[in-house]
Amino acid sequence: MAEMKGVDILILVDTGTEGTPQWTPVGGQRGATLSESVDTIETTHKASGGYKTYEAGLVDWTISCDGVYIPDDAGYKALVDAMRQRKKVKVRWQEAGQATYEGLAIVTSRDLEGPHDGEATYSMELQGCGAPVLQPTP
């Protein structure tokens, strides 16, 4: 099995219509992080032997991305517009040119940095809504 390079992972946003998706990469991207977590439900009782016990609860996922700021990039603009309009967007996590996960998300934050001695950069956080759909490998 080949190792995955980070440069081969992209975040794409659906800029098409409901019936005709158009997957647009978020321009200038440098970094991408997919995080999944599970809440725990404590189930400790008197017969637990003095140790806490847990069961898995609700599942959560987020995507973080950052990159070079390109103000007129269609993917970037779609995420900014979705945040400002408080709308969910369909996003895709793509590895080595193949879709891996798709799901609805809310853009929860955007940071724009303009240092005096470097390129302008952005970072965004997307909160998943519902389960991400694992795409079959072609």
Q: What is the pLDDT of residues 64-121, one digit of tens each?
A: 999 999 999 999 999 999 999 999 999 999 988 887 899 999 999 999 999 999 999 9
**What spatial distance separates the first Cα and last Cα of the chain, rounded to whole Å?**
16
pLDDT of residue 138: 56
Phi and psi, residue 77, nearest 5°: -60, -35
Q: Which residues pair with residue 125 across a beta bridge?
A: 64, 109
Q: Which residues pair with 14 in a beta bridge?
A: 23
Q: Beta strands 121-134 and 98-113: pairing type?
A: antiparallel
CA angle (127 as vertex; 124, 132 as ends), nearest 5:
120
Name the percent of the chain lying above pLDDT 70. Answer: 98
Domain count, the chain: 1
* 43-50 mean pLDDT: 95
In-domain check, residue 1: no
Is residue 90 in a domain?
yes
Task: Classify residue 98: in a domain, yes or no.
Answer: yes
Helices and strands per DSSP (H, E), number in the chain: 1, 7
Query: Sorting pLDDT into bands at 50, 70 and 90, what band is 29?
Result: very high
pLDDT score at 18: 83
More confidently predicted of 18 and 59: 59
- What pLDDT is attached to residue 65? 96
- pLDDT score of 134 more than 60: yes
Q: ∠ CA(99), CA(102), CA(106), 5° rounding?
A: 140
Q: Residue 136 above 80 pLDDT?
A: no
| Range(s) of the domain holding residue 105 | 7-34+60-123
Question: Which residues contact residue 56 at a Cβ distance below 8 angstroms, ignoring those fewer than 6 apart?
Answer: 38, 39, 40, 41
- Domain membership of residue 40 (yes or no) is no
| Alpha carbons 50 and 8: distance in angstroms, whole number | 47
Q: How far apart are the C-alpha atoms of 120 and 115, rounded to whole Å? A: 6
